[in-house]
Chains A and B, each alone.
Chain A
Amino acid sequence: MSLPAELLYGRSHEWIRVEGDAVVIGITNYAQDQLGEVVYVELPEVGTGVATGEELGTLESVKAVSEFLAPVGGEVIGVNERLEDEPNLVNEDPYGAGWLVKISGSAEGEDFLDAEAYQQFLEQESG
C-alpha cells in the first residue's frame, strides 16, 4: 500500500490530515499490519482535552493491546463511531474509513514526516 502524499506521519506510526483548524488522526498501514486484525477499539469521549504524546485510546488485536498516543494536543471534537461495530476498518482502510479521532489543534511546531521521509524511516526501522 503506497503512502498517501497528502498526509503527515509520526515516528510512532500514526498519520494526521490537517483540515483547517482540526487534524484527523489514524494509524499507518505499517502499524495495522504489525498489530494484526483489530477486534476492539477504545476511543476518547468528545470534549476530552489531550496533550501531545498523551494516551488517546486503545487498539486491541486478538493477541495484544496497544495504546495510541495523541500526535498533536487539543480537544477531541470527533471520533470514528463506526469502529465500535467495525474495528477491522482500521486494517482494511487505515488511511480512510479506519480513521480514529479528530482533534481541534494544530500540527505546527510538531515534528512530522512527509510520505517520502516516513517511507525512508520505515526502511531504516525494518533494515
Chain B
Amino acid sequence: MGKTSKDKRDIYYRLAKEEGWRARSAFKLLQIDEKFHILKDVTRAVDLCAAPGSWTQVLSKRLYENRTNNEEVKIIAVDLQAMAPLPGVTQLQGDITKLSTAQAIIDHFGGESQKAQLVICDGAPDVTGLHDIDEYIQSQLLLAALSITTHVLMTGGNFVAKIFRGKDTNLLYSQLRIFFEKVSIAKPASSRNSSIEAFVVCQNYRCPDGYIPQMINPMIDDVQMIVNATDSSVNQKLIPFVVCGDLRGFDSDMSYSLNLNEDSEYTYKEVVQKPISPAYKEILEKLKNCSIKHSAITIKHEDEAVTTESASNDDSK
C-alpha cells in the first residue's frame, strides 16, 4: 500500500486534507446544509462530541460568513477530549450526559431567552464488530445528545445527529418525532454507500406539553412516552429519506486518479489533525522497540519498570 493509496480510494479524505478540514466528515455537514439550509441565519450553535472538530470548523467558517456583527455569533464545541482550538469557537470540555454541561451552554448563550438555534452531533463510538452493540451505543449517544438538546435548544430550532441504521432505528425515529415537527434521514454523498451511518435532520423543535427537559435514561424514565414510542408503520411513513450533496459531484465510493484536473499537479498533503490519544497509542509506542509475536510486555506498577517476559525460555537466535 502506497502513501497515496488512501488519497485515491477516498476522494473526500483527500479533499479534506487539501481544503484544510480536520476530517472528511466536514463535507457531510456541508452537503446536509446544501439540502436543508440548517446553517442559514444561525448565530448560536452547539457541536456535541466535537473532537477532532471538523463540524465545528464548518460552523466557524459558515456562521461568520457575510456578517458584519461577528460578536453576535456564538459557537460552542463540547467534548470530553481536548481539541485543538478553532477561531471564534468556545470550547467546553465536558460530559454531555451531565446537567451542568447543559447549564454551562445556556449561560454562555446568555440565558433561557437566548438558547441555541442549532445543535449538531457527529459523535460515534469505536465499533466493536458486533453490530447490535454498536447500534445500541450509537443510539444511546444520540439519546444523550437529544437529552441535552431538549435543555439547550430554542423552540423552532434544529438538531442534526449521526445514526447507525439497523434493526432498531425505527424506534429512534419515533422518539425523535416526539420532539420535532419534521424528522428526515439524510445520506450525504460524502458518506460511503457501504457505511451504515446516516444522519437524522430534525427540524422545528417543539417540546411536548408537560415534558420537563431531563437526562433520558431508558430504564428509570418518568416520561414513558419516550420509552413506549413504537416503530409502527404509521410512524415509518413520516420519515423521508433524503439524499444530500450533488450526485454528479464526487462519489465517495469511487477511486479517483490523483490528477483530478489537467491544470493542477498533485502534491501529497499530510492530515490536518492526527488522532490525539487513541487507545492503541501506548502499545504502539512499546512495540517500536520489541515484538510480542511470541512474548508479551509486562509492566509492574509498583516500580513502573518495564520488563519483557518471554512466552517460554525463549533464547534468541
Same complex for A and B? Answer no
Report A's interface with B, CB cutoff 8 A.
none
Report B's interface with A, CB cutoff 8 A.
none
